[in-house]
A and B are shown apart, each in its own frame.
Chain A
Amino acid sequence: MSLAPAPPAGDLTRAELRALVATIAARPEQWRHLVNHDPAARTYEQLRRDEHVAIWLICWMDDHDTGFHDHDVSCGALAVAQGEIVEERLALGGPPLRRRMAAGQAVDFAASDIHRVVHGGGGPAITINAYSPPLWRMGAYETTPTGELQRHSISYAEELRPLGFVASSGPRSERRPDAP
């Protein structure tokens, strides 16, 4: 399978990652045979990995939720190829910044961003995700019953899932997709 013309010469920028996932998401003939939706959990297929970038196909169904997490030293991007997902950025002292994304839309994120991605309801969803440099360690966030925020350092091999909960106070603001 050829998902890019040549291995990149260095790590990719957020803009390059976003363009990459948008391109792949628009070419289902390259990955349709790998789609596998499981009601119990998200499923992953690694489409490519080299020194500079790792690209994944992720299949989502109802209630699938990564929990809040970061990507340690990797920046990334995701494009929705089918269905809808919701991305939330963690904010202290207020509700998360929320954006709903449908097929054809993409978002990128810095290594320092803390976000969560959940299935957007409706039918099964598919996203194409890319990370540069390839994921290694990740941070998974938990809110204790007394409100303290804790970061757990985990291998990227771990399945991301909600740890505890992060309280959201007041109505959530929903931004338009691709809003800055």
Chain B
Amino acid sequence: MTRYVADMNAAWHAFVAFGRPRHPRLRVVFAMLAGGAPLHGERLAARGGPTRALADARTFYDTSSYGARATDAVVRSVGIEQLVYGSDRPVVDAPAGPAPLGAAAVDAMVSANVAPLLGRASLAVAA
């Protein structure tokens, strides 16, 4: 297909290693779950990488490209508070979306988590 997934993964690893230390208060949203990069948090920590990469209240992930299973895996890594809904329109029809995760999880992703991302509400975890 394309290198998008690998590129997003590389971007996340670069950000947690170099971007976040330089911009500690920057709010960031990674598209397409950062290519699933948060699932590599344990590997990163085991190799001496940033230990707080998965505990970053200012880093968000949109769910474009992915369905409920990949989304739920990232929820396990970073918490529901860091996810926002994204679609692939108009490139492709939106996948089924996060509906199987339940109404409260959907509400968090399409509504509650947006204000903290945009700086209009306090972040999920006090820094």
Footprint of B on A, CB under 8 Å? Answer: 1, 7, 46-51, 54, 134, 136, 154-159
A157–B55 touching, CB < 8 Å: no
- Which residues of chain B are near A48, meaning CB under 8 Å? 125-126
Please measure, in the bound complex, the distance between the C-alpha atom of A158 and the C-alpha atom of B72, giving whole angstroms. 13
Please measure, in the bound complex, the distance between the C-alpha atom of A48 and the C-alpha atom of B55, giving whole angstroms. 9
Please measure, in the bound complex, the distance between the C-alpha atom of A46 and the C-alpha atom of B42, giving whole angstroms. 22
Interface: B102 (CB within 8 A): yes
- Count of B interface residues, CB-CB < 8 Å: 26
Please measure, in the bound complex, the distance between the C-alpha atom of A156 and the C-alpha atom of B79, giving whole angstroms. 9
- Which residues of chain B are near A50, meaning CB under 8 Å? 52, 54-55
Which residues from 69 to 112 on chain B have a C-beta closer than 8 Å to any C-beta of chain A? 72, 75-77, 79-81, 101-105, 107-108
Of B77, B103, B124, which is within 8 A of A46 by CB? Answer: B124
B125–A155 touching, CB < 8 Å: no
A156–B80 touching, CB < 8 Å: yes
Footprint of A on B, CB under 8 Å? Answer: 41-42, 45, 51-52, 54-55, 57, 72, 75-77, 79-81, 101-105, 107-108, 124-127
B104–A158 touching, CB < 8 Å: yes
Q: With A7-B51, A49-B55 known to touch, is A155 a contact of B101 (CB < 8 Å)?
A: yes
A51–B79 touching, CB < 8 Å: no
- Which residues of chain B are near A154, meaning CB under 8 Å? 102
Interface SS, A side: loop
Please measure, in the bound complex, the distance between the C-alpha atom of A54 and the C-alpha atom of B75, giving whole angstroms. 13
Please measure, in the bound complex, the distance between the C-alpha atom of A136 and the C-alpha atom of B101, giving whole angstroms. 11
- Which residues of chain A are near B75, meaning CB under 8 Å? 136, 155
Of B75, B81, B104, B125, most buried by chain A (CB within 10 Å of CB) is B125
B81 to chain A, nearest CB (A): 7
Please measure, in the bound complex, the distance between the C-alpha atom of A1 and the C-alpha atom of B71, giving whole angstroms. 29
Given A156-B80, A157-B105, list of 7 further CB < 8 A pairs? A7-B55, A46-B125, A49-B124, A50-B52, A155-B105, A157-B104, A157-B107
Of B79, B102, B103, B105, which is within 8 A of A49 by CB? Answer: B79
A10 to chain B, nearest CB (A): 11
Please measure, in the bound complex, the distance between the C-alpha atom of A65 and the C-alpha atom of B27, giving whole angstroms. 36
Please measure, in the bound complex, the distance between the C-alpha atom of A50 and the C-alpha atom of B80, giving whole angstroms. 13
